Amino acid sequence: MTTPHNGKLYIETVGCQMNMLDSELVVAALRKQGYELTGDVAAADTVLFNTCSVREHAEHKIYSALGRLKFSKQTRPQQVIGVLGCMAQKDQELVFQRAPHVDLVVGTGQLGEIPRLIAEARGTRQRSLAVSLDRREGTRMEVSNSFQSYDPLREPEMRPSPYQAFVRIMFGCDKFCTYCVVPMTRGPEQSRSPRDILLECRVLADQGVKEVTLLGQTVNSFKVTEDGKIWRLSDLLAAIHDINGLDRLKFVTNYPRDMTDDLLQAVRDLPKCARYLHVPAQSGCDDMLKKMKRGYTIGEYREMHQRLKETMPDAAVSSDFIVGFCGETDAAHEKSMDLIREMRFKNSFIFKYSPRPGTKAYGLMPDDVPEEVKKARNNEMLALQNQISGEDNAKFIGRTVEVLVEGVSKNAEKRGETDASHGPVQLTGRTMCDRIVVFPGNPRLAGSLTEIAVEDCTSTTLIGSIMTREVQHGSTSLLPILV
């Protein structure tokens, strides 16, 4: 028997795009059972946390949020609290030990079971743990099978915007970089069926999605044989490109060694593909890359970057860096700074090394760079990247760019400006090379491709106004308009 509950669901998501997608799928499954989303944790009888373990800070955030709910069940005995995702898979029973009021711990490979597990927990008031096998607990096939796919369910309201959607094309990771928990939390690398992926993209296009972002931890390592045909990412992009209604295709994250020519040429030749490639370098120093077991040298990264720029001179490249990894000297850090100067990344995500239990570095390499040094290197790198991003953004001033309008900007939303009843509202969109653009306009434009004249910029944002085409005496001129 299930205890009555108010059907209100609160879900908090941290971590990467994979987690955003997983939360969308979980909410879609629960909506089918009559659940309704609320942003107020105090009003919810079902509280879920979709967690991340990539750095200690992300785990702290969730354990603190769980701490705040310690006495919540005293006033809501019917409440079910669930911890989902990467930290659930990594910490397993430890979650119950650290937060005894948690009812469910559900790993990344069991999310499809959530509706049943919640109903059971409410009925029996028993804790339940649903996780996949650890990587050493079975054969590769057994471990892979313990991470289940449940991707076809979709929930538009959970997306960044109704016009943008994520589509998973790969699960897991087999690269085992020595600092990284993802091969443990997401399991063995598996490419999904191209038939299923294409079907999902068609459904999304029918729902009005304009931009699809394909997701994989090493998305460009995608390779699968179906009906006797080998599919690589380039083949998949070409097939998705033919779907009517989609305007833009993106994919993250790329592994430098798998950036093959067929992929670069596909991106160049398929007009819907964004001219933007996220190819994390992690460090500019060969010794560090070796200790990280990244599988390439800086010479090889440089060769990949040159090939990329020769194929698409206008493409933007972004990166991730870890500062303060085990044994990183000032000279090693300086090499990362030099790489940023040389590559002029569009942007870089910079992280301070956080030792993660279960990884090779955790057991074998001392975390010997002091926190203040990590902080100083982080700030120095961020300042350099911001300077470069600002200089490169400034080159767009005076140019016209085509943006996919995403909707009302965060700042305008904060000011309560969500419709055009009092004049144009600040909108936001992205260029083909993934630069963020803000401009005044009517929120009705969300989901459309619009030309913007860039007038100003910051290091993160281009600022402009909408252009319209006006035919004058047979010639076309571009004029700024306010909609």
Binding site for ligand F3S (CB under 6 A): 15-16, 18-19, 52-54, 86, 181-182, 185-186
Under rule CB under 6 A, residue 146 binds ligand SF4: no
Distance of alpha carbon 425 from alpha carbon 423, whole angstroms: 7
Binder of ligand SF4 out of 80, 117, 143, 180 (CB under 6 A): 180
Q: Which residues contact 373 (CB under 8 A, 6 or more apart)?
A: 324
Tokens 């990280």, residue located: 292
Pick what 336 binds: ligand SF4, ligand SAH, ligand F3S, none; C-beta below 5 to 8 Å, kind-dependent.
Answer: none
Distance of alpha carbon 186 from alpha carbon 123, whole angstroms: 30
Q: Which residues bind ligand SAH (CB under 6 A)?
A: 54-55, 179-180, 182, 217-218, 253, 280, 282, 320, 322, 351, 353-354, 356
By beta-carbon proximity to ligand SAH, the closer residue of 9 and 18 is 18
Q: Tell me the residue number closest to ligand F3S, measured at CB.
A: 15
DSSP string, 116-169: HHHHHHHHH---EEE-PPPTTSS-HHHHHHTS---TT---GGGSSBTTEEEEE-
Write the interaction track for ligand SF4 spanning residues 195-234; mark x where CB under 6 A is met and - where it is not: ----------------------xx----------------
**Contact criterion met (CB below 8 Å) for 446 and 430:** no
Pick what 86 binds: ligand SAH, ligand SF4, ligand F3S, none; C-beta below 5 to 8 Å, kind-dependent.
Answer: ligand F3S
Under rule CB under 6 A, residue 279 binds ligand SF4: no
Pick what 353 binds: ligand SF4, ligand SAH, ligand F3S, none; C-beta below 5 to 8 Å, kind-dependent.
Answer: ligand SAH
Residue 256 structure tokens: 């430098």
DSSP code, position 282: B
**Contact criterion met (CB below 8 Å) for 186 and 217:** yes
CB atoms within 10 A of CB 360: 16
Binder of ligand SF4 out of 14, 69, 114, 182 (CB under 6 A): 182
CB atoms within 10 A of CB 365: 17
By beta-carbon proximity to ligand F3S, the closer residue of 177 and 181 is 181
3-state SS, residue 170 = strand
- In this structure, the strands spanning 80-85 and 211-215 are unpaired
By beta-carbon proximity to ligand SF4, the closer residue of 158 and 182 is 182
CA triple 212-188-295, angle to 5 deg: 85
Distance of alpha carbon 35 from alpha carbon 38, whole angstroms: 10
By beta-carbon proximity to ligand F3S, the closer residue of 87 and 412 is 87
Pick what 46 binds: ligand F3S, ligand SAH, ligand SF4, none; C-beta below 5 to 8 Å, kind-dependent.
Answer: none
Binder of ligand SF4 out of 88, 177, 266, 433 (CB under 6 A): 177
Pick what 183 binds: ligand SF4, ligand SAH, ligand F3S, none; C-beta below 5 to 8 Å, kind-dependent.
Answer: ligand SF4
CB atoms within 10 A of CB 347: 20
**What is the nearest approach in angstroms of ligand SF4 to the Cβ of residue 445?**
36
Where b means 16+ CB within 10 Å and e means fewer, 296-305 reads bebeebeebb
By beta-carbon proximity to ligand SAH, the closer residue of 171 and 351 is 351
Closest CA to 146 of 175, 118, 112, 180: 112
Under rule CB under 6 A, residue 183 binds ligand SF4: yes
**What is the nearest approach in angstroms of ligand F3S to the Cβ of residue 173?**
8
**What is the nearest approach in angstroms of ligand SF4 to the Cβ of residue 351?**
11
**What is the nearest approach in angstroms of ligand SAH to the Cβ of residue 367?**
10
Under rule CB under 6 A, residue 176 binds ligand SF4: yes
Question: In 52-132, which ranges are E strands?
Answer: 80-85, 104-106, 128-130
By beta-carbon proximity to ligand SF4, the closer residue of 16 and 204 is 16
Pick what 185 binds: ligand SAH, ligand SF4, ligand F3S, none; C-beta below 5 to 8 Å, kind-dependent.
Answer: ligand F3S
248 pairs with which residues across the strands?
211
Q: Which residues contact 460 (CB under 8 A, 6 or more apart)?
A: 347, 386, 389, 393, 436
Closest CA to 429 of 449, 411, 457, 415: 449
Distance of alpha carbon 404 from alpha carbon 461, whole angstroms: 15
Pick what 15 binds: ligand F3S, ligand SF4, ligand SAH, none; C-beta below 5 to 8 Å, kind-dependent.
Answer: ligand F3S
Task: Catalog residues that contact ligand SF4 under the rule CB under 6 A.
Answer: 173, 175-177, 180, 182-183, 217-218, 255
